Amino acid sequence: MVGIVIVSHSQKLAEGVQALVHQMVQGAVSLALAAGIDDPENPFGTDVMQVYQAIESVYSEDGVLILMDLGSAVLSAEMALEFLPEERRHPVRLCEAPLVEGAIAAAVTAAFGANIEQVIREARGALAAKASQLSGINPSESVGALVSTPTSAQSQVIHLTVRNQMGLHARPAAKFVATASQFQSEITLQNITSSSGSVNAKSINQVVTLVIRQGNEIAIAASGADAQAALAALQQLVEDNFGESVADVRGAETPLPEQPQFPISNSQFSGIPASAGIAIGNIAIYQPTVLNVQQQQADNPEAEWQQLQTAIEQTRHQIQTLRHQISATAGKAQAAIFDAHLLCLEDPFVIDRTRQLIFDRNFSAAAAWKTVIDETVAAYEALPDSYLQARAADVFDVGQRVMRSLTGTVPASINLPEPGILVATDLTPSETAQLDPGKVLGICTVAGGATSHSGILARSLGIPAVVGVGAELLRLENGTLIAFDGETGEVWVQPDDNQLRELQAKRNRQQTQQQALQSAAQQPAITHDGHQIKVMANILTIQEAKIAVNTGAEGVGLLRSEFLYFDRVSVPTEEEQREAYEAIASILSPHPLIIRTLDIGGDKPLPYLDLPPEANPFLGWRGIRYLLDSPDLLKTQLRAILRASHKHPIKVMFPMVASVREIRAAKEILAAAKTELRSLGMSFDEAMEVGIMVEVPAAVTMADKLAAEVDFFSIGTNDLSQYVMASDRTNPKVATLADAFEPAVLRMIQQTVTAAHHAGIWVGVCGELASSELATPILVGLGVDEFSMNSPAISTVKAAISKLRMDEAEAIASAVLQLDSAKEVREYIVGQLKT
Ligand code: PEP
Ligand code: MG
């Protein structure tokens, strides 16, 4: 990254410029000062050696830009250059740009990785915005000249208006940054409405701090080989409202009315209502482990840097696992909170600044990381917007994870020994996500706001919460009885009998309503004309099995067993697996459990299995391909599944099957596992059903042959869509093509169902399509026998099924198969639902 040196007669002036720059780029640029002289009587002046040392301190091969105030400052800078060895002189450039405007423009440009020429050009153009504004030109025509590339000849710029309700809050910002990061081009973003400077569109922290709200005009500039594609993808994202419906945003993040926080009396407090519901119980005070940096400085920067990389990698893995869990328990929208955490972890500003502290100032990895996270948290907290201030908790959360990994600290357990109310100063989203709703009757915190991600997660876990109660809360003793109303924010300490009676009555009313909803979802899904469809859940963990049952799942149609293999250093043993499968099956009893064998590769790597990086991981060594090449691993899993089938209705299915040969080979290993168990006298279900995921087009075209080999099919529309449409589901440039509503994909489903039924076997759909209410009439009409989905979608899909008649659904299905695009299919269904 290009470094910057400020040469000034006045130390104070230079420090002021430095502070302004810091505000713009949060320290993400290497900037050094050479200002004033060491003479208390007359501190104004410049010193050649100081300039030389400043250059050395920010020097890199990318170059150094020197900005000077006047007179001898220029002379000192020129002479300092003479001290540099010949070969280091070339990338160091003196620039005549105005000191304040030039420094800001240069810093922002340098911070997103621009080269020295671009940095100089932006610094030189730094007066353009001021000049045009003072000469009466509309600032939106010239804004961007201040700090960014939009005015440069190579840049392409688009102007858009942000329409979604909350503007570029954390989740849309995360999507924006994730999309921008897929492209090589330099991309900047500017809030035209607030006349902000341009920021790096690949930095989550920078993008969020632009405070882009609903109705704001933004400018996106891109320069590079794929600039056009980048702008098209970003434009589509903005025009699609970042994939949010107004309802999504309201449900998840609309701030609840904030209430004043103060102790009303010694026995009553008032806080911010964050998650509705009455909680009554004894409190358990949670104190997180304090993370101290033992060693500030280190001798071996390379080793520290490597240590940080490892910690970041471990953290990435933890967050991805948590993201998958939350996606299954609370839904995709809530899980996207952790997308923002992943982006925060990769933020180029955070990484570059940490690197700089490690290499230039010999900070230890932990000290450097903590410094940068503290700065970033402080920058969020200083923003003039309570919603954005709340994002500081997310940065802090990610920062803590990395710190724990660096310092080898085990997080304090927040598992309550018995049901009670969790009291804490604040809870991070990660901490909240891991709470057991069976044990945590309520959450009451000193700090936090209704828009915190912890609040959102508490709502989706169904745990009542009041936050922002104030420090008085921590004066209570562990075990004190409290009660609170998550709808009003009132908290009672040792409530008297009358208060308890009232609260219990309100709680009973709420529970009755809740139970009515749940019991509707517990009913089977039957169409108007009496056709029953099984509705099952996709799960990952034991915890989610409980949620599935409560939300009306009639079993589990897809257990993604890879989650037993994550977050550990070696393959789980047969015994560990058997226990986990039995535990899940017991919770579901008497409903069935379909266990999918390990599906790794593609987007699901496993660190300890040492899978080599592949050019096309989705076309690579994944699913059954990997399993067949690792027969012992597969056999161990199959033995565990078989043993669990002894007492429970369990079925097994294999992922990514593309040929008859593969399923036959897998069945041979299953037969070998059975023989071994028999010889050991171990019992299992001899007739355990065997199925395959139909998620590769080859499996569809060979469905008649494959159906002869197995007892059932389960269509994985997530993978099937990407393979049918030849578009990587993780590549935003083409991901929209991988749409399961495409008639091409729907025709594949039709072919699969026809072949399955012809062979006399049943067929389910376990891809995301099954959870879409819009897809329900199509799938019912195509004759799908079983739907399996994320638990939160079950009640909606069951309700949608019960409104259908079979002949109507069949007519809808055959009509959509004749349409031209996914868009037309959706429009058609929406039209049908209206009539
Ligand atoms: C699918 O591909 O549709 C599927 C359910 O499997 P996964 O998303 O786990 O690849
Ligand atoms: Mg799949």
Quick one: 727 exposed, middle or buried, by C-beta within 10 A (0-12, 13-18, 19+)? middle
Counting ligands in written order, the one closest to the CA of 789 is 1
Residues with CB under 6 A from ligand 1: 558, 560, 599, 695, 716-719, 766-767
SS3 string, 604-648, reads: ECCHHHCCCCCCCHHHCCCCHHHHHHCHHHHHHHHHHHHHHCCCC
Q: Could you tell me if 285 and 426 are in contact, meaning their C-beta atoms sit under 8 angstroms apart?
A: no
Question: Which of 693, 715, 729 to probe ligand 1 with, by most ligand atoms within 8 A of CB?
Answer: 693
Q: Whose alpha carbon is nearest atom 6 of ligand 1?
A: 716
Tokens standing for residue 70: 């006047």
Quick one: 255 exposed, middle or buried, by C-beta within 10 A (0-12, 13-18, 19+)? middle
Question: Which of 718, 748, 788 to probe ligand 1 with, by most ligand atoms within 8 A of CB?
Answer: 718
Q: Whose alpha carbon is nearest atom 8 of ligand 1?
A: 718
When computed from its CA atoms, the radius of gyration of the chain, rounded to whole angstroms, is 30
Q: Could you tell me if 210 and 195 are in contact, meaning their C-beta atoms sit under 8 angstroms apart?
A: no
- In the reported structure, the alpha carbon of residue 60 is separated from the centroid of ligand 1 by a whole-number distance in angstroms of 46
766 catalytic per annotation: yes
Counting ligands in written order, the one closest to the CA of 720 is 1
Tokens standing for residue 350: 């955070």
Counting ligands in written order, the one closest to the CA of 603 is 1
Q: The whole model's pTM is what?
A: 0.54
Q: Which of 156, 96, 157, 148 shows the shortest CA–CA distance to 122?
A: 148
- In the reported structure, the alpha carbon of residue 722 is separated from the centroid of ligand 2 by a whole-number distance in angstroms of 10
Q: Whose alpha carbon is nearest atom 1 of ligand 1?
A: 716
Tokens standing for residue 205: 């922290």
Atom of ligand 1 nearest to the CA of 715: 3
Q: Which of 324, 453, 591, 648 is an active site residue? A: 453
Q: What is the pLDDT of residue 101?
A: 83
Question: Hey, is 448 helix, strand or coil?
Answer: coil
- In the reported structure, the alpha carbon of residue 619 is separated from the centroid of ligand 2 by a whole-number distance in angstroms of 12
Torsion from C-alpha of 730, 731, 737, 741, nearest 10 degrees: 20
Atom of ligand 1 nearest to the CA of 602: 10
Q: What is the mean pLDDT of each run of 10 residues along the chain (835 residues)?
A: 92 90 76 88 84 90 91 82 79 89 82 79 69 43 31 72 78 81 89 82 79 86 91 89 55 37 62 89 84 82 94 87 71 72 86 92 93 88 71 84 85 80 85 84 83 73 86 84 92 93 92 77 93 94 85 95 77 94 95 96 68 82 94 97 97 98 98 98 97 98 98 96 86 74 97 98 95 94 96 87 95 97 92 80
Atom of ligand 1 nearest to the CA of 538: 5
Atom of ligand 1 nearest to the CA of 766: 5
Q: Whose alpha carbon is nearest atom 10 of ligand 1?
A: 719
